[in-house]
Structure 1
Amino acid sequence: MVIGLLAGSVVTDMPATSTSLPNIVVILADDLGWNSVGYHNREFQTPHIDSLVASGLNLNRFYVAPMCSPTRAGMMTGRYPIRFGCARSVIPPYRDFGLPTSEVTLPEMLATLGYENRGVFGKRHLGHRRAKWHPLARGFTHFHGHYNGAIDYFDLTRDGERDWHVGYDSSNETGYATDLIANAAADWIKQSAASDAPFFCYVPFNAPHSPFQAPSDAVERYGNLPEVRGRDGKNREIYKAMIGRMDEGIGRILQAIDSTGEADNTIVWFFSDNGGVGNLRDINKPLKGAKLTVFEGGIRVPACVRWPAKITAGQSTDTVCGYIDLLPTLVSTAGGEAARLSDMSIDGVDLTSVFAEPESLIESRPWFSYHGQSGPANEHMAVIDGGWKLVVNGPRLTDVKQLNDDTYQVRLFHLKRDLNETNDLSKHNLEIVKQLAGKLVDHRSLQPEDAVPPYGVGQAGFIPPPQWRLDPSAPDKLVGRYEAVDSK
């Protein structure tokens, strides 16, 4: 698969030796709010995440997409997911859509650079109804986890069918999903370290995404259920327990790295796929907004990177960076150059200069955020550029002149002075609004006609395949079906 996809590219950046290359571990939380980690808020107990920040580089202005699948797609490709139709919405269970096979992925690039073992553990969420979208068809050598989002943490089901797999096979493994993910990743790291080649381990946890479920001992340790009333209050306490349990799992992964004797030359990159949900109190405070918005609370997330051999511990950077930068940065650390390993334009930039000098600013660039999950009548867009941030919510934006219509909510913030977006300056800076809106129009125009549909399209009557099985011998075969639904 890798050879076929890269056949038209010039691979000239092969490392001299694989033994000197760093191991790479990427840990992705799901719906983790800015204010939901110990180093931002002592109410949340995350000692292992905190230790990563203390021993590495705190990425204080790290941005992602406002929801799950687009962040994963951009991380895997180094490209804004709007370019290939993965930005509008997440990929729900009934959707026949996935990360296009024309895109060259991070594990595929690393495969050409000496990374023989490339494992993914946890939530995929990049297409699950055809085998051509399976992780093993997109550059990974090992998969252990689930295809869909929002599975039940205890019975490991989605829409009534068990969604738990090792490779292409359904697994009868039992346990709490967060624990199973962490344990499988830790065991695989220990096994992979026995090889002379470096490894790439991607751990996309499903925690702390809903459903809000945690083992009773975790709730007792991290939550305060007896002291709260109402569903939302209880959910917030369970959310704390889910984060605490995930942090314990991260601790086991870090212990596994230490046990290999290669911790100094292992990159560990941690972040969340989007901000915390809006119905849980204060989990993004003091940032404005939440998941599914393009305000800071929806797209700016806790993030850090540790690499003891190259990054001095305890530093922080305010450089604007994010999910699309992982691919070019990690490929660079592996001795390659992303632009030479793909025929596609790469939007992300190599952050290794920031690793060396955290206060040095990489070349300024606009940073775009977008989603239209409910359809073109209600889209959310933002651009950060030159210290300013423009937020536009409303119908699809095709012309700057549309902003004269009261249908649109337009807000302008000067982030250098107002990172928490408290002061709207749009009415006093109309020319800046116009300039930035023009960039949003251009960015929105990138979305192809065959992009992922709005979230609710096609839901009625869907019947999932038994155990969400895929057939690797028929990679393009569609699984699952629809029953006729009475429109009454």
Structure 2
Amino acid sequence: MMTTRLTRILFLLFVITSPAFSQKKKPKAQATTTKPNIVLIMADDLGFSDIGSYGSEIQTPNLDRLAAEGIRFRQFYNNSICAPTRASLLTGQYQHTAGMGYFNINLGTPAYQGFLSKETVSLAEVLKDAGYSTLLSGKWHVGDDSTSQWPRKRGFDHFYGNIGGASDYYVIKNLPKKQRSFFVKDDKIVDPEDEDNFYYTDEIAKNAIGFLKDQRQEQKPFFLYLAFTSPHWPLQAWPKDIKKYEGKYDIGWDSLRILRFKRQQELNILGKGQKISVKNSDLPAWNSLTYDEQKLWARKMEVYAAQVDNLDQNIGKVIDHLKESGQLENTIIFFISDNGAAGEDVGHGFSGRAVRNWGPVGTAGSYDSYTRTWAYASNTPLKSFKGFQYEGGISSPFIARFPSKIAAGGLIDGTAHLIDIAPTLYEIAGAKYPQTYKGNTIHPLAGESILPAIYGKDWVRSKPIFWERAGNKAVRKGKWKLVSVRSDQWELYDIEADRGETNNVIKDHSDIAAELKGLYNTWAKSVKVEDWNVIGKGKGFEPSFNP
């Protein structure tokens, strides 16, 4: 299940050349505690190939260092979109059981209520009862209609961040205040102290470090959920970060996919014999664009890369703090993304915002996305993107580092899902998962601990994995994956041989397809999946484009 010694050596050499290995201050004496600290980092709309250790050219030395000193999963799954992913991550339940079957919008049933169910418990609630300080800096997005659904009501001691979904990175002074992104500290809406130097990704890391400094006085282990919004649109980045990537994407999305695929093969991140997915026929070839069109689109990718770069810088700031405070070696760190790269076409008004784009892309006056064209490159070699149950929508990088327990440079083949994070963390923390909580009967955990795999032991998943959102469905059992896009037409793929989902083999394996469909139907009934054509079609949030 782990890489060969040669692969490990090559990957370590790749990472050692990165800036993260420059000399730093020696750490203070290691803080002692009976339980490990936990840092759970989530990126937002980050594609499968968007960091260096998964094939990217973007400078991510801090994440690459975590990968070199820890392990990576080749196949780790999410729920294809923001709110449902966060619901499963926080509760260890499938999204419907957690109350987030569609989004943070109430569609009228408990499985689609749009906020966390009282029959679930959050990571913060369980870990707090196990003696942990519980801290959240960044995006919430699992209940925003009422302060009763905010983080401190679900077990977090301290919170800084945005309650809803997308957020501007800058303070947009030209917008009326009621249309600006707003930020909350603990339970109060707060204004940025320095609007001219405010950049939201920086602020998430800054507040996380502040929480960690204050927490040292409590003499308890901590759980830090670091939920960045980067690189979710809008495309806004510091000029100094954009400058690093000027001209780098003039090659276009088609060539970039090939270059990333080659790097992935060199890093052995895909396994042997894999093929790159077939790009949608409705997406233009780079060479079909005019010169001016190419320059505009290249600029969008430059800004996107700058956002990922800045994300990595801020992860590095948190790691440096842990090292300098003597806490790093007793801290297990997980890194994931909430879904695949985003295909939304944003730029001329979205979700009730005023039409905006009075400044060049990347500046405070812009509100753009890089759409499906670059998203396909970000998800190399996978098919499709955010919102769909093809691999490009539900696959994420996964990195775990804990030097005393995790061997350096490993790659894991076993399939894991967000629902596995909760039982894994509870095992690490020695936390007891409750049967009842605050007078409510709590659902049993849906996932299984992946700690054996992370610690280098043989591990094979015992249960299938299921997905459903807005009529998009899938089930994964062993090497087989059955998937359907907004219809009852099913496709079957051998993911071990065909991660890019290039060859639908359902006609050759109708018996396997029938078995998986039966498993899916049983699961869908158990978690109260509703017919999307009845409960939600036309609500305006499901993608209108082809996957």
TM-score range, shorter chain: 0.7 to 0.9
* Partner Cα distance (1:286, 1:448) in 2: 30
1:36 to 27, 50, 53: 50
Deviation at 1:303, TM superposition (A): 1.0
1:160 to 176, 179, 190: 179
Task: Answer yes or no: is the 8 Å Cα contact 2:75–2:395 preserved in 1.
Answer: yes
Q: 1:159 to 1:134 in 2, by over 3 A?
A: same
* Partner Cα distance (2:241, 2:506) in 1: 46
Query: Any idea what the Cα deviations from partners look like across 1:86-110, whole Å, max 9, x if unmatched?
Result: 1323549xx9831123321111000
* Partner Cα distance (1:287, 1:45) in 2: 21
The letter for the 2-side match of 1:447 is K
Number of aligned residue pairs: give it: 420
1:319 to 401, 411, 414: 414
Which SS does the other structure have where 1:224 is aligned? coil
2:247 to 218, 224, 228: 224
1:60 to 65, 74, 85: 74
Query: Any idea what the Cα deviations from partners look like across 1:171-220, whole Å, max 9, x if unmatched?
Result: 11130111100111122223323432101110110000011111111111
* Partner Cα distance (1:203, 1:295) in 2: 27
Report the counterpart of residue 195 of structure 1 in structure 2.
Answer: 218
Task: Answer yes or no: is the 8 Å Cα contact 1:275–1:300 preserved in 2.
Answer: yes
Q: Does 1:391 align with 2:505?
A: no
* Partner Cα distance (1:394, 1:450) in 2: 10
Deviation at 1:222, TM superposition (A): 3.4
Task: Answer yes or no: is the 8 Å Cα contact 1:55–1:306 preserved in 2.
Answer: yes
Q: Which runs of 5+ in 1 are unaligned?
A: 1-17, 373-378, 396-407, 460-488
* Partner Cα distance (1:193, 1:264) in 2: 16
Which SS does the other structure have where 1:331 is aligned? helix
1:26 to 40, 64, 89: 40
1:20-169 paired onto structure 2 within 5 Å:
20-91=34-105, 97-115=114-132, 117-155=133-171, 160-169=179-188
Report the counterpart of residue 460 of structure 2 in structure 1.
Answer: 362
1:335-354 paired onto structure 2 within 5 Å:
335-338=430-433, 343-354=442-453
* Partner Cα distance (2:220, 2:531) in 1: 40
Report the counterpart of residue 497 of structure 2 in structure 1.
Answer: 417
Which SS does the other structure have where 1:391 is aligned? strand
TM-score, with normalisation over the residues of structure 1? Answer: 0.81
2:379 to 275, 284, 287: 284
Which SS does the other structure have where 1:237 is aligned? helix
Q: 1:441 to 1:226 in 2, by over 3 A?
A: closer
Q: Which runs of 5+ in 2 are unaligned?
A: 1-31, 107-111, 253-291, 344-371, 542-547
Deviation at 1:409, TM superposition (A): 3.2
Query: Any idea what the Cα deviations from partners look like across 1:361-412, whole Å, max 9, x if unmatched?
Result: 234210112210xxxxxx11111103100011234xxxxxxxxxxxx33211
The letter for the 2-side match of 1:250 is I
* Partner Cα distance (1:42, 1:161) in 2: 33
105-114 vs 77-86, greater mean Cα deviation: 77-86
Task: Answer yes or no: is the 8 Å Cα contact 2:420–2:449 preserved in 1.
Answer: yes
* Partner Cα distance (1:38, 1:226) in 2: 16
* Partner Cα distance (1:323, 1:226) in 2: 32
* Partner Cα distance (1:275, 1:169) in 2: 32
* Partner Cα distance (1:280, 1:458) in 2: 22
2:509 to 429, 451, 457: 429
Which SS does the other structure have where 1:118 is aligned? strand
Task: Answer yes or no: is the 8 Å Cα contact 1:182–1:249 preserved in 2.
Answer: yes
Deviation at 1:84, TM superposition (A): 3.6
* Partner Cα distance (1:250, 1:389) in 2: 34
The letter for the 2-side match of 1:149 is G
Deviation at 1:447, TM superposition (A): 2.4
Q: Does 1:182 align with 2:201?
A: no
Q: 1:90 to 1:309 in 2, by over 3 A?
A: same
The structure with the largest helix share of the pair is: 2
Q: 1:370 to 1:150 in 2, by over 3 A?
A: same
199-208 vs 329-338, greater mean Cα deviation: 329-338
Deviation at 1:320, TM superposition (A): 0.8
Which SS does the other structure have where 1:439 is aligned? helix
Q: 1:267 to 1:340 in 2, by over 3 A?
A: farther
Query: Any idea what the Cα deviations from partners look like across 1:250-276, whole Å, max 9, x if unmatched?
Result: 000110111221211101110000001
Task: Answer yes or no: is the 8 Å Cα contact 1:89–1:453 preserved in 2.
Answer: no
- Aligned-pair identity in percent equals 33
222-231 vs 37-46, greater mean Cα deviation: 222-231
TM-score, with normalisation over the residues of structure 2? Answer: 0.72
Deviation at 1:448, TM superposition (A): 6.0
Task: Answer yes or no: is the 8 Å Cα contact 1:123–1:206 preserved in 2.
Answer: yes
